[in-house]
A and B are shown apart, each in its own frame.
Chain A
């Protein structure tokens, strides 16, 4: 193996591509060449570095220097000063005060521990971090039942939003005898403000594949499908590559590791419909139909894709499984809080200094997440509200900053963790406008299958639009709560059951914003 003096990590993701990372990378290569440094300094393409809104960023190891907001004209200077003369270019380094405040938390990461560190397009790098050890361990020394029990014992809960225990879900499907069973990955990430699954798939696609493999083994499925948004082009191409590499290495295929177990994984691409994040709608879409939800029961665990027993899990859920099998349930349960074990990946955006992602233990407070992992509020801005969980989430006020973020604790405040999206708002944000935007989203995304949701989302939008235009009455607020609570009770799927959460929380916690528009 070749030895390099320094490694420059370049995060390639949708955000950095948009900022022109490829051009910068080309210049960097040619500058290193010009200075005869190509043999000493290595350039590595990796997944997200976890910084957003900072344009093109580079991370230099072993120095651990983060360069941000790079322009084409900066590169020659960095190469000459930093790599030739050994003097980091301070004016381009992520603000020193921020470095101290900004915490990547790699030590506690489970899902994103490789993201931003390894080359996601190279299976050898994943293997080098201990990748596919869990898969080998399971196939060569564990019964499927033992894998299932380990996941059950870990307390892992679904990370898609509802928080249903993953092991329990698998245990419905495992004992069923059927000619075919399936694992389906829900990668139709559409909850506004959520992009954690994109980062997992872009940064460490093999980890997801290994999770699918372990699930397939535990429940006895020989086919896996990853249903992914059509918009996620980079994820699709990285996963396709990863699957191809796994097949080449005999990690996927027939009689894997001589165990007699067969498995292959395929990608299914969506075409833009929020409701397809609902597991039965997703299955309908996979089968080539309109993505409308099915009546339950039967649940997918019994009769899912093509009417066969199917486990549908979120990307983040499955990406936790390899570490659970490698290190054991007890190790996993050391992360997080009782009843809500492990870590959670959050995407934080809005009026914070460093919008981006973080993976922290379940039960970390909203205050810690904002202060420690998002650099605090933007200069001159004070916290007013956070929309936690996306459009199907809740508006929290500053009274809730110290609530522990996990499925159980948030429930006490009629709040949800949802997908882990945190949209932070300062006093310049008006809750009437924000709720209007949320309800416009639901109006657009209602699939039209059931009347409560199809009609309800229209009515709700009409009411909030009236208030926003100054034509509302105070009784409209009660009417919105009444309608959305009715939808909660009578809608066919979670989409129609969701608007009550942002509505109730916005009107209860920020009533003065609404009254200001009414009078």
Chain B
């Protein structure tokens, strides 16, 4: 995996965020492991602590293993006004997890995020790369069910 990704990027520090994005996307558990940090540090000739710093700075990166599907519910004011708190309560109940946790079956990780820029359809969440808007309790239930069914 690393070889194929490194083939696309010259060993310059400016490519760090790209490389991390790709490694994380390709990892079945969507995270950057300690091993990955070491290998990337070597390739880019930068310190592991620099990478650790970058990883923990940006919300899209995780240093902990995550589920197959990552739910990111927007908690910014426009979604809040439209009831994102109720959606969050429902998601926590449905999935039986707290924010940042992964379900026991490894299918979902529940995260919060800042504005996704789809506020015309608030409340909004993103699952992996797909955006779901105008959320209602019924809609959330069917979306979750469709992923559980193996989408």
Contacts and interface: CB of A to CB of B under 8 A. Distances in A.
A290 B119 contact: no
B126 to A, nearest CB: 7
Interface in A424-468: 425, 429, 433-434, 437-438, 440-441, 444-445, 447
A52 B53 CA distance: 38
B76 A192 contact: yes
Interface string A143-164: 0000000000000000000000
B7 to A, nearest CB: 18
A465 to B, nearest CB: 14
B78 A349 contact: yes
Nearest to A231: B116
Interface in B94-151: 113-122, 124, 126, 129-134
Given A15-B133, A190-B114, A290-B54, A285 B17 contact: yes
Given A194-B117, A271-B21, A274-B114, A288 B13 contact: yes
Nearest to A434: B77
Nearest to A51: B120
Q: Most chain-A Cβ atoms within 10 A of its Cβ — which of B18, B120, B124?
A: B120
B17 A437 contact: no
Interface residues on A, range: 35 or more
A15 B77 contact: no
A360 B28 CA distance: 47
Q: Most chain-A Cβ atoms within 10 A of its Cβ — which of B18, B60, B117?
A: B117
A160 B77 CA distance: 19
B17 to A, nearest CB: 5
Contacts of A19: 121, 133-134
B17 A270 contact: yes
Contacts of A229: 117
Contact of B78 (A190, A273, A423, A444): A423
A18 B118 CA distance: 10
A355 interface: yes
Nearest to B20: A271
Nearest to B78: A193
A65 B77 CA distance: 34
B14 A287 contact: yes
A512 B44 CA distance: 57
B118 A195 contact: yes
Interface residues of B, number: 43
B78 A18 contact: no
A192 B14 contact: no
B122 A349 contact: yes
Nearest to A274: B114
A14 B131 contact: yes
B59 interface: yes
Nearest to B120: A52
Contacts, number: 147
Given A18-B132, A287-B14, A290-B53, 12 more contacts: A15-B118, A18-B130, A52-B121, A53-B134, A230-B21, A230-B60, A287-B13, A288-B14, A288-B16, A349-B120, A434-B80, A447-B57
Given A15-B133, A423-B78, A441 B119 contact: no
A299 interface: no
Interface in A251-298: 268-274, 285-292
A441 B114 contact: yes
A349 B21 contact: no
B118 A192 contact: no
A399 to B, nearest CB: 21
Interface of A: 14-15, 17-19, 52-53, 55, 189-195, 198, 229-233, 268-274, 285-292, 347, 349-350, 355-357, 387, 391, 421, 423, 425, 429, 433-434, 437-438, 440-441, 444-445, 447
B81 interface: yes
B15 interface: yes
A288 B54 contact: yes
A195 B121 CA distance: 12
Interface in B55-81: 57-61, 75-78, 80-81
12 contacts: A14-B118, A18-B130, A18-B133, A189-B117, A229-B117, A270-B17, A272-B59, A285-B17, A289-B50, A289-B54, A292-B57, A349-B78
A284 to B, nearest CB: 10
A286 to B, nearest CB: 7
Given A17-B131, A285-B17, A350 B117 contact: no
A18 B120 CA distance: 12
Given A15-B120, A437-B76, A192 B16 contact: no
A447 B18 CA distance: 21
Q: Most chain-A Cβ atoms within 10 A of its Cβ — which of B21, B60, B81?
A: B81
B13 A195 contact: no
Contact of B114 (A286, A292, A355, A444): A444
Contact of B77 (A192, A231, A274, A286): A192
Nearest to B124: A18
B120 A355 contact: yes
Contacts of B121: 15, 18-19, 52-53
B133 A423 contact: no
A374 to B, nearest CB: 10
A421 B13 CA distance: 35
Contacts of A289: 13, 50, 54
Contacts of B114: 190, 192, 272, 274, 441, 444-445
A433 B80 contact: yes
